[in-house]
């Protein structure tokens, strides 16, 4: 199953950092925005994008920074494939979604969609963790299709990565066995190119390795 060939792929996550696991417990349905840029080091750089609609009196503490750093480490390999254009910045919207299904039930999992207009970019829905006795069911659909392009039952540590030009919508369910409830943590990511001329995402300098004590400002390099 290839992203280039089919428009979707089953991917593996790196081990979930402790700060990300704590984020599901302490702030489920939290939204984190990161900028993903290609640097002169031939690597992806992740920087936080401040939320301008957050109350001014809410402090930005170490837990926020640890969560952002943990998400960046988790996504670096998963999103940084050769199919992603290195000539542009990418805005990554991340959602932490925790779902609980009582014993013997099937619960629809409603996920937030991308906020960027046009429906382009890429999506990632990954199982960051699951406790209890149960399983997941995911179906990906294309435009005008009633039959799914893919049906999968991802386990913890697996996710579905898809191109939104191919996959227009998806459906997810959490199935709990009769033996007891199940709790599932989904990491949902939407990657899109910021619109408009020189968006605020580029206002911060990009950090690349240089001589000790120096800061190099650069743009994404060409491969």
Q: Which domains does the chain have, with CATH numbers?
A: 3-202 (2.60.120)
Q: What number of other Cβ atoms are within 10 A of residue 111's Cβ?
A: 16
Q: Provide mean pLDDT across the span 60-65.
A: 69
With vertex at residue 125, the alpha carbon angle to CA 122 and CA 126, rounded to the nearest 5 degrees, is 130
Question: Residue 71 — pLDDT band, cuts 50, 70, 90?
Answer: very high
- pLDDT score recorded for residue 206: 44
Mean pLDDT of the chain: 81
121 or 62, higher pLDDT: 121
177 or 209, higher pLDDT: 177
pLDDT tens for 88-132 read: 899 999 999 999 999 999 999 998 888 765 556 899 999 999 999
Question: Residue 4 — pLDDT band, cuts 50, 70, 90?
Answer: low
Nearest to 8 by CA among 173, 171, 168, 146: 168
Q: State the pTM of this model.
A: 0.79
- pLDDT score recorded for residue 41: 81
């Amino acid at each position: 199953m290839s992203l280039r060939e089919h428009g979707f792929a089953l991917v593996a996550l790196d081990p979930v950092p402790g700060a990300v696991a704590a984020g599901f417990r302490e702030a489920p349905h939290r939204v984190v925005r990161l900028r993903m840029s290609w640097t002169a080091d031939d690597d992806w750089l992740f920087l936080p994008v401040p939320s301008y609609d957050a109350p001014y009196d809410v402090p930005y503490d170490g837990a926020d920074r640890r969560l952002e750093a943990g998400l960046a480490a988790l996504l670096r390999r998963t999103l940084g494939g050769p199919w992603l254009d290195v000539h542009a910045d990418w805005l990554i919207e991340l959602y932490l979604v925790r779902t609980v299904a009582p014993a013997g039930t099937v619960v629809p999992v409603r996920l937030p969609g991308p906020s960027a207009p046009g429906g382009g970019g890429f999506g990632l829905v990954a199982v960051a963790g699951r406790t209890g006795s149960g399983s997941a069911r995911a179906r990906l659909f294309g435009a005008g299709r009633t039959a799914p392009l893919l049906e999968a039952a991802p386990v913890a540590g697996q996710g579905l990565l898809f191109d939104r030009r191919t996959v227009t919508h998806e459906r997810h369910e959490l199935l709990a066995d009769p033996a007891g409830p199940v709790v599932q943590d989904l990491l949902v990511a939407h990657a899109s190119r910021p619109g408009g001329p020189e968006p605020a995402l580029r206002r911060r300098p990009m950090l690349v390795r240089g001589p000790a004590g120096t800061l190099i400002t650069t743009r994404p390099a060409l491969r």
